[in-house]
Amino acid sequence: MMLNMKASPEARTTSSSSSSPSRSIVTAEKAFSFISKGWSEVRSSAGADLQLIKNRANSFKNRADRELENFLNSASRSPFAVPTITASATTTPAEIDFVKKLRPKLTEIRRAYSSPDFKWSQWSPKPKNRIDLSAIKNAIVSEVEDEEEDEGQRFRRWRTVRFKETAARDEWQFGELWEPIRALKARLREFEHKSSSSSSLPSDIFEGIKNSEFVEKLKSSLRSIGKESNGAKMQEVPPFDVPELLAYLVRQSSPFLDQLGIKRDISDKIVENLCSKRKNQLLLRSLPAGESSIIEADNVTDELDIRIASVLQSTGHCYEGGFWSDSTKQEFADGKRHVAIVTTASLPWMTGTAVNPLFRAAYLAKSAKQNVTLLVPWLCRSDQELVYPNSLTFNSPEEQELYMRNWLEERVGFKADFNISFYPGKFSKARRSIIPAGDTTQFISSKEADIAILEEPEHLNWYHHGKRWTDKFNHVVGIVHTNYLEYIKREKNGALQAFLVKHINNWVTRAYCHKVLRLSAATQDLPKSVICNVHGVNPKFLRIGEKVAEERERGQQAFSKGAYFLGKMVWAKGYKELIDLLAKYKNDLDGFKLDVFGNGEDAYEVKSMAQRLNLNVSFMKGRDHADDSLHGYKVFINPSISDVLCTATAEALAMGKFVICADHPSNEFFSAFPNCLTYKTPEDFVAKVKEAMANEPQPLTPEQMYRLSWEAATQRFMEYSDLDKVLTSNAHSGRIDGKALKKSISLPNLMDMVDGGLAFGHYCLTGNEFLRLCSGAIPGTRDYDKEHCRDLHLLPPQVENPIYGW
């Protein structure tokens, strides 16, 4: 029928396009006759189906009548004609009499049922609560009479009839079962009616009823008042004025102003001046009168953020991300956050980026407020032989993890509960560092991607080709360990390379970090960065210092040796400055002897230079700074100006020794300790050496020891990285009228858009192998290789990240 109905528009189209009126009339008549014929066929087919159903129902009824008639006739002819149920069963006269008595009633029922005027109401027992079935009868009659009624309406009416029939049947069969429930409901209604109309109830019940009514009225009135007050507050928020818009524009344009030579502190002053005229009214305009004492904001920037958020909230605007942003970040409602620490080196390589992140993970996990994972590079066997000392190698990541945990527990004195994972890495001989291979972010699962701490973020992201850190993690903090510009300037064409590396470091840290911590002012001034020493010393060195102080209190000689220097034997680690000072003032330092401990790539050249200049220097193999053979030295000399924050200097101070170092930003943190002697000129260096050799160092006070500890360093890290605010979910909120209010995170941020564009551009460039090789990358480090797949049990890169459409 649907196909037939679709023919009508075609017929009308044909008739409208015809040029002759008579022809169109003929076409319309043919179409109408065709539709009528189709409708007649459908009606005749439906009538035949109904007749077939009726015939089958009559056949079934006749067969049932015959079976019943045969049963009754057999019972009346002979008592032995009733079949037995089992072999042992016998028919009693009582059963035969029952069948004879039942026969007249069954015959009467059969005749009444066969009659067209049959009604169930004549035979069903009348319940106490009668149900009127006349509506059912009327519905059936109207359904039979109206054959052309809509099929959907007929089905709904039939469903209603069936429901009523079922209800009537249940009422007839189970009426006695439902009777106690009806009686209970009736009693409850009667009690409720009496309690509401009678005054003879106990006073407490009556007062309870009155109080409940009063409470309901009070609730409804409070709801209406709350809605009115909220509506009034929404209407009372005024729009932005010109100074506020200019202040927000200047703050968002700070990256461009920085490129033009306008520093961030200058742009902050401009914002403060624009907001100073309305500082007392900045948030008051968004509040009713008399509530100024409730406002809580840290500074003008926070006030501006909250002001913008209040205006956006009043308009109902909600910003869900821009072109570059990814909204698939995890939210952790159970209060247990996840911190992933990613570094560029691992033990047994005794370098700062291997040791300090290990201690940071242990002390962050010690608080048990967050789950911690340390992600370190895994080197293949050939690279391990080049990097790890004393020919120490590992066959599996599990062996190296066990070594790291044993080394750590011997020094911290407690069992650290954190995870250690590995990512593929390759050692670069030219850069003397480990470069990640593949996408490092994939080795932190999406369920644990909450907070990321990138140790040396510029190093990790030079050739990073993968997911953006700030897209996968809710908060990303970078910690700068190394002054790469100082190292590069010492190489061939160093000035040009340093210029390029400076801008690349700005690029990657801005694109991949929310905040950057610089250990000292000796590092490059990076975007989003603050200066703070977030490193501590090994607790073992503090215990050595306590032991030295106890020996001195007992009158014993704590230091029996003179001066020493310890560090990796490469020219950039201060060996050039040290040899120059000793050679220039060899006569002034007559009788002064220096012991040097270290191994490195430039060891042969350093030793040759010292022998050629006939310096009083003894060279020994490198060893742990906590080794017993180093406890007796009184003076530690470190002339390096390439370090960011020398770990050996902090360890020497913790052991109660004198430290002689340059007056340099890298040593600013140590200069506050009385045993730290800084020099500004070569002549001053000679004077400090004589002073240290002629005197005894002062014992450290408990406050000074705490400043050097990892507990204090962890506390500083939590504060300066905003991690304490992030862990309590207060990093982007202000408070107005005691309620938390999100800042302008709901507003499109120009700075975030710029950072997203930089990240996208970096991703495109690092995906080209030719450009990677031109910039100094190790060949084949865009993805990990087969050896990494075997050691770390990884799928091949072609399977992990398939490329379609060749």
Query: For residue 9, is pLDDT > 90?
Result: no
Mean per-residue pLDDT, 464-479: 91
Cβ 734 vs Cβ 304: under 8 Å: no
Residue 12 has pLDDT above 50, yes or no: no
Do the domains 539-708 and 338-535+750-792 match in fold? yes
3-state secondary structure of 119: coil
The amino acid at 81: A
Is the whole-model pTM more than 0.85? Answer: no
Q: 127 with 172: CB under 8 angstroms?
A: yes
Q: Flag whether pLDDT at 113 surpasses 70.
A: no
Question: What are the tens digits of pLDDT across the range 562-604?
Answer: 999 998 888 888 899 999 999 888 888 888 899 999 888 888 9
- Alpha helices, DSSP H, located in 237-374: 242-252, 254-259, 264-276, 300-315, 352-366
Q: For residue 619, with 0-12 CB atoms within 10 Å meaning exposed, 13-18 middle and 19 or more buried, which class applies?
A: middle
Task: Round to whole Å and give the CA distance between 230 and 224.
Answer: 10
Which is nearest to 679 in space by CA: 659, 654, 649? Answer: 659
**pLDDT exceeding 70 applies to what percent of the chain?**
63
In the chain, what are the domain boundaries?
Answer: 238-281+302-313, 338-535+750-792, 539-708
Q: Does the pLDDT of residue 683 top 80, yes or no?
A: yes
Q: Which residue has the tokens 């009063």?
A: 214
What are residue 385's phi and psi, to 5 degrees? -65, -25
pLDDT higher than 70, residue 17: no
Output the six-digit token pair for 796. 């091949």
Which has the minimum average pLDDT: 216-225, 379-388, 591-600?
Answer: 216-225
In this prediction, residue 290 carries a pLDDT of 43
**Helix, strand, coil % over all residues of the chain, rounded to 5:** 55, 10, 35
Q: Summarize pLDDT for 473-500 with one digit per residue, the tens.
A: 999 999 999 888 877 887 777 788 888 8
**pLDDT (average), residues 77-106:** 50
> How much is the pLDDT for 563?
93
Tell me which of 214 and 464 has the higher pLDDT: 464
Residue 73 above 80 pLDDT? no
Q: Average pLDDT of 93-103?
A: 56
Q: Which residue has the higher pLDDT, 409 or 329?
A: 409
Q: Which two tokens stand for residue 614?
A: 């006939």
Span 679-705, mean pLDDT?
91
Are residues 514 and 475 in contact, defined by beta-carbon separation less than 8 angstroms? yes
Cα–Cα distance, 631 to 676 (Å, whole number)? 18
What is the predicted pLDDT for the residue at 285?
47
Residue 229 has pLDDT above 60, yes or no: no
Give the residue with greater pLDDT, 305 vs 156. Answer: 305
| Least confident segment among 195-204, 261-270, 428-437 | 195-204
Which range is least confidently modeled, 34-38, 522-526, 632-636? 34-38
Question: What are the Cα distances from residue 548, in Å, to 146, 636, 695?
Answer: 110, 16, 16
User: 742 forms bridges with which residues in the sheet?
Assistant: 733
Average pLDDT, the chain: 75
Cis peptide leading into 348, omega within 30 of 0?
yes
- Span 391-408, mean pLDDT? 93
**Residue 255 corresponds to which tokens in the numbers above?**
């990256």
Token digits of residue 322: 């821009």
With pLDDT > 90 as the criterion, what percentage of the chain qualifies?
Answer: 25
Give 124-167 as a DSSP string: S---SS----HHHHHHHHHHHH-TTS-HHHHHHHHHHHHHHHHH
Q: Which residues contact 102 (CB under 8 A, 6 or more apart)?
A: none
Most confident of 116-130, 180-194, 210-224, 548-562: 548-562
* Mean pLDDT calculated for residue range 432-438: 90
pLDDT in tens, 745-763: 445 566 777 778 888 888 8
| Amino acid found at 717 | F
**Region 686-712 average pLDDT:** 91
Q: Which range, 45-49, 285-289, 313-317, has the best average confidence (pLDDT)?
A: 45-49
CA distances in angstroms from 423 to 307, 444, 461, 712, 804, listed in the order given:
44, 10, 14, 30, 26
Residue 93 is predicted with a pLDDT of 56
Whether 723 contacts 451, CB under 8 Å: yes
Topology, domain 338-535+750-792 = Rossmann fold (3.40.50)
DSSP letter at 442? Answer: G
Q: Quick check: 279 pLDDT over 60? A: no
- Distances in Å between the Cα of 806 and the Cα atoms of 769, 782, 799 are 18, 19, 15
In 3D space, the residue among 312, 451, 374, 365 whose CA is nearest the CA of residue 731 turns out to be 451
Picking from 154-163, 313-322, 563-572, 745-754, which range would have the lowest pLDDT averaged per residue? 313-322
User: In terms of DSSP bridges, do strands 529-531 and 515-518 run parallel, antiparallel, or are they unpaired?
Assistant: parallel
Given pLDDT bands bounded at 50, 70 and 90, which one contains residue 1? very low
Cα–Cα distance measured from residue 175 to residue 286, given in angstroms and rounded to the nearest whole number: 66
* Amino acid occupying residue 297: A
Amino acid at site 719: E
Q: What per-residue confidence (pLDDT) applies to 436?
A: 93
The mean pLDDT of 514-537, rounded to a whole number, is 90
pLDDT value of position 4: 42
Are 434 and 379 in contact, with CB atoms under 8 Å apart?
yes
Look-up of token digits 């209406």: 224
Number of Cβ atoms within 10 Å of the Cβ of 794: 18
Q: What is the pLDDT of residues 661-672, one digit of tens each?
A: 999 999 999 999
Q: Which of 99-103, 299-303, 341-345 has the lowest mean pLDDT?
A: 99-103
pLDDT of residue 357: 95
What confidence category does residue 652 fall into, taking pLDDT thresholds of 50, 70 and 90? very high
Distances (CA, A) of 369 to 334, 365, 718, 724: 11, 7, 12, 11
User: Is 3.30.830.10 the CATH number for 539-708?
Assistant: no
For residue range 129-151, what is the model confidence (pLDDT) as tens digits?
A: 444 555 555 555 454 455 445 55
pLDDT of residue 380: 93
Higher pLDDT, 139 or 358: 358
Token code pair at residue 773: 């090789």
User: Residue 712 pLDDT > 90, yes or no?
Assistant: yes
Binning pLDDT at 50, 70 and 90, where does residue 194 land?
low
Contacts of 6 (CB under 8 A, 6+ apart): none
Give the distance between the most distant pair of CA atoms in the chain: 149
Q: Are 739 and 309 in contact (CB under 8 A)?
A: no
